[in-house]
């Protein structure tokens, strides 16, 4: 394995992506970045952590997409939208953290951010609804119907966020080095499989 390895993990809600990321970071002695990115980005940007939390992996309306370049329909420049500033702050934070020592990066378009990095392995974690809803039911102590709704809503938000900031489709296997079905393999085998794909 290279000294500074980058692993990005996209994931369906409830599929175990965060757990797998933490396991990989611990076993490979790499930094782990999930909510921690919000704190780091807030420190470096001047925005409060609460502002980042409010917009974290949340979809934005399509109107803002047309504004992302800082131009209106008449070609007149104006102030960039806040959501774009927040994304760019996270983008720069991820790049700096990766340069400092690699790491395991959860969500937040990390595979897009590091698309050109040769030392990055891009992973997408998915599973069937029964597996995912069962995990959410256990965490939240709620009914299966509510757990399924949480999974669906979470996936919708993540897809909207990713598709807005990336030129790829969230979950499209063509844009990941490996996709892992934890519903069939389980968490332990998923961790071992991902480790086996790293440079040795």
Taking only the tens place, the pLDDT of each residue in 34-51 is: 876 666 765 666 655 565
Is 200 inside a domain boundary? no
Model pLDDT, residue 57: 53
Is 1 inside a domain boundary? no
Which residue is it, tokens 């993990």?
9
Quick one: tokens of 40? Answer: 């780091």
Residue 24: pLDDT above 90?
yes
Lowest mean pLDDT across 14-28, 61-75, 86-100, 102-116: 61-75
Select the more confidently predicted residue: 66 or 19: 19
8 Å CB contact between 199 and 143: no
Mean pLDDT of the chain: 83
> Which residues contact residue 145 at a Cβ distance below 8 angstroms, ignoring those fewer than 6 apart?
none
Select the more confidently predicted residue: 134 or 75: 134
46 burial (CB, 10 Å; 0-12 / 13-18 / 19+) is exposed
Question: Based on the structure, what is the number of domains in the chain?
Answer: 1
The b-or-e profile of 108-146 (16+ CB within 10 A means b, else e) is bbbbbbbeebebbbbbbbbbebebbbebbbeeeeeeeee
pLDDT in tens, 114-160: 999 999 999 999 999 999 999 999 999 999 999 999 999 999 999 99
Is 199 inside a domain boundary? no
Mean pLDDT calculated for residue range 65-70: 41
Q: What is the DSSP letter of 48?
A: -
Model pLDDT, residue 92: 86
Is 105 inside a domain boundary? yes
Q: What is the CATH number of the domain that holds 108?
A: 3.40.50.300
Confidence of residue 165 (pLDDT cuts 50, 70, 90): confident
Which residues span the domain enclosing 124?
6-193
Is 91 inside a domain boundary? yes
Is 198 inside a domain boundary? no
Is 179 inside a domain boundary? yes
Model pLDDT, residue 42: 59
193 burial (CB, 10 Å; 0-12 / 13-18 / 19+) is middle
Residue 52: pLDDT above 60?
no
Is 19 inside a domain boundary? yes
């Amino acid at each position: 394995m290279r000294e500074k390895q980058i692993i990005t993990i996209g994931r369906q809600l409830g599929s175990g992506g965060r757990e797998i990321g933490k396991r990989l970071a611990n076993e490979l002695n790499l930094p782990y970045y999930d909510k921690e990115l919000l704190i780091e980005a807030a420190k470096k940007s001047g925005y409060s952590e609460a502002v980042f939390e409010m917009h974290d992996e949340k979809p934005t309306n399509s109107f803002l997409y047309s504004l992302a370049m800082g131009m209106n329909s008449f070609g007149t420049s104006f102030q960039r939208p806040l959501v774009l500033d927040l994304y760019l702050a996270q983008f720069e934070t991820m790049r700096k953290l990766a340069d400092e020592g690699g790491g395991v990066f959860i969500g937040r378009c990390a595979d897009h951010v590091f698309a050109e990095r040769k030392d990055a392995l891009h992973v997408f974690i998915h599973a069937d609804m029964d597996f995912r809803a069962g995990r959410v039911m256990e965490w939240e102590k709620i009914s299966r119907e509510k757990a399924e709704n949480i999974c669906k809503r979470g996936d919708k938000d993540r897809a909207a966020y990713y598709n807005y900031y990336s030129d790829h489709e969230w979950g499209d296997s063509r844009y990941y080095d490996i996709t892992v079905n934890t519903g069939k393999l389980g968490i332990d085998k998923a961790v071992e499989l991902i480790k086996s794909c790293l440079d040795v």
